Amino acid sequence: MKITFILPAIGKKRGQKYIGTWKMEPLTIAVLKALTPDDVETEFFDDRIELPDYETKTDLVCITVETYTAKRSYRIAARFRERGIPVVMGGYHATICPEETEQFCDSVIVGNAETVWTQMVSDARTGQLKKRYKGGIGTYGVTPDKSIFTGKKYLPVSLVETGRGCNHNCEFCSISRFYDSRYHARSHALIEEDIAASPYKYFFLVDDNLVANRKNALALFKRIEPLHIKWAGQGTLSMAKDPELLKAMKKSGCEIILIGFESLDKENLRQMNKSFNYALGERDELVKRVHDAGIGIYATFVFGYDNDDEGTIAQALEFSKKHNFYTAAFNHLLPFPNTRLYDRLRNEDRLLYDKWWLADGYNYGELSFVPKKISPEQLSKACRDARKEFSSFGTVMSRGFASLGRTSPLLWGLFWGMNLRIGGEVDRKMNVPIGENLDEFPK
């Protein structure tokens, strides 16, 4: 038996390779490969860097589906199903929208694959795939099999999973729905094993909120400290109130931490159920504490809440420039399916598309709903302008020199490559139809 894994891209433009996202090794596929019995042959197409071979000789196609990639996943699936090859789908979108997904494939795995994968493979062997499998939700004792990446060029950073889910319940977030506002820590022994097996010294610790459980986080940081690695990860601003935690993070090798500031506006934070960011106190002081601990910040913002207008975006931009963040994302709000945000906007009759992720005419970088104080076009443009300004030559220079000494030489080097590249990519990504590959599917 042979299984073909596919990770779909968001969309491609004629003459360009992809809507650029960071090309890190996709851990999801390495986990699925590890779960697959040894006697099953496997191959993998990463659509972000190559086209799937639609003529490949295979018995089963397994596609991981995110909301942004749903449209393209369904198109890719159709090409294989035309040949009579069964397609199984799983992942975030498949889990939160199984009724939609199952219209485009033969079988859907809802939740995490670990508890049902062996059964699904065995059913596929005998031609008895079920329409739906219900997987668990949590972390499981699996060591990803990264041999599936052989021959692919990814960034020289290892992804190691440290936990799944988050204890918060932000209105717009898919994770809080998928993991039901719960955090699941992964075994520290397995994390240590994964780190030790990596050919690289730089790591992205995959976690929705590394500091969700303080006790677990402190124990993890202590455990990995002797490994002398450098890492980046994702957490919440609450860490800034905890000097002991910050110190342990830095000692364990933390260089950059992604923090979702989302908004500087109290009313917006209340509406998105992220008031805890406000309640923590003066954000200038909190940022200073993280920086003083020697940790760089990747700050993320989201715009489109009811109190947002061009002024709040400009305010976030100024805040980011003032603090010389390592990098920052100025995203527009997107109602992901099955989130409370999606339900609220639908009830308020503010959605421009019932399903933006499948709609003809929905392009990357565009709004899919009507904000209160600003038009969708103005908001999209204001986010684009903030990204441009934040990656302009002068701003990058000043941020680059500010992070000198805060990060290791390699990450300082990466800073220039990354930040200057982001500036160049802003316009190339804008308004590209999602789900399309104009070369492969000519209109």
Q: Is 299 in the site for ligand SF4 (CB under 6 A)?
A: no
The angle at the Cα of 117, spanning 116 to 122, to the nearest 5 degrees, equals 105
Classify residue 112 by its DSSP letter: B
- List residues bridging with 115 in a β-sheet: none
Q: Is 175 in the site for ligand B12 (CB under 6 A)?
A: yes
Distances (CA, A) of 423 to 46, 325, 328, 394, 426: 25, 15, 12, 12, 6
Closer residue to ligand SF4 (CB): 303 or 415: 303
Minimal CA–CA distance to 268: which of 228, 223, 302? 302
28 binds, among ligand SF4, ligand B12, none (CB under 5 to 8 A by kind): ligand B12
Contacts with ligand SF4: how many residues (CB under 6 A)?
A: 11
Please choose, out of 167-175, 287-295, 340-348, 374-382, the segment that lies near ligand B12 by the rule CB under 6 A. 167-175
Q: Side chain identity at 41, as an amino acid letter?
A: E
Q: Side chain identity at 252, as an amino acid letter?
A: S
CB of 276 to ligand B12, least distance (A): 16
CA distance 150 to 154: 10
Please choose, out of 58-66, 365-373, 393-401, 416-424, the segment that lies near ligand B12 by the rule CB under 6 A. 58-66
Q: Is 245 in the site for ligand SF4 (CB under 6 A)?
A: no
CB of 345 to ligand SF4, least distance (A): 17
3-state helix, strand, coil in the chain (%, to 5): 40, 20, 40
Q: Which of residues 15-44 bind ligand B12 (CB under 6 A)?
A: 21-22, 24-28, 31
Among 93, 332, 384, 429, binds ligand B12 (CB under 6 A): 93
Closer residue to ligand B12 (CB): 125 or 251: 125
| H-run or E-run covering 9 | none
Among 73, 158, 174, 238, binds ligand B12 (CB under 6 A): 174
Minimal CA–CA distance to 338: which of 167, 137, 134, 171? 171
Site string for ligand SF4, 379-408 (x = CB under 6 A): ------------------------------
Closer residue to ligand B12 (CB): 64 or 380: 64
Closer residue to ligand SF4 (CB): 111 or 260: 260
CB of 98 to ligand B12, least distance (A): 12
Please choose, out of 90-98, 272-280, 391-399, 432-440, the segment that lies near ligand B12 by the rule CB under 6 A. 90-98
- Answer yes or no: are the C-beta atoms of 386 and 316 closer than 8 Å: yes
By CB atoms closer than 10 A (0-12, 13-18, 19+), residue 399 is buried
CA distance 381 to 364: 12
Q: Which of residues 152-211 bind ligand SF4 (CB under 6 A)?
A: 166, 168-170, 173, 175-176, 208-209
- Answer yes or no: are the C-beta atoms of 301 and 329 closer than 8 Å: yes
Q: Is 331 in the site for ligand B12 (CB under 6 A)?
A: yes
Q: Is 96 in the site for ligand SF4 (CB under 6 A)?
A: no
**Would you call 239 helix, strand, or coil by DSSP?**
helix
Site string for ligand B12, 98-137 (x = CB under 6 A): -----------x--xxx-----------------------
Q: Half-sphere exposure (CA, 13 Å, Cβ side) for 219? A: 12
Q: Is 260 in the site for ligand B12 (CB under 6 A)?
A: no
Closer residue to ligand B12 (CB): 359 or 402: 359
Q: Half-sphere exposure (CA, 13 Å, Cβ side) for 327? A: 20
Contacts with ligand B12: how many residues (CB under 6 A)?
A: 35
Among 86, 91, 98, 433, binds ligand B12 (CB under 6 A): 91
Helices (H), 296-430: 310-322, 340-347, 376-390, 393-403, 409-429
- List residues bridging with 232 in a β-sheet: 204, 256
Q: Which of residues 260-289 bind ligand SF4 (CB under 6 A)?
A: 260
Record the tokens describing residue 34, joined without a space. Answer: 């590890």
Closer residue to ligand SF4 (CB): 35 or 206: 206
Q: Is 67 in the site for ligand B12 (CB under 6 A)?
A: yes
Q: Side chain identity at 87, as an amino acid letter?
A: V
Distances (CA, A) of 190 to 98, 162, 219, 224: 31, 9, 14, 11
399 binds, among ligand SF4, ligand B12, none (CB under 5 to 8 A by kind): none
Strands, E assignment, 91-226: 107-110, 132-134, 158-161, 163-165, 183-185, 202-206
Neighbours of 437 (CB within 10 A): 20
CB of 226 to ligand B12, least distance (A): 25
Q: Can you give the binding site for ligand SF4, defined by CB under 6 A? A: 166, 168-170, 173, 175-176, 208-209, 236, 260
Where do contacts with ligand B12 occur on this chain (CB under 6 A)? 10, 21-22, 24-28, 31, 62-64, 66-69, 88-93, 109, 112-114, 161, 164, 173-175, 206, 208, 331, 336
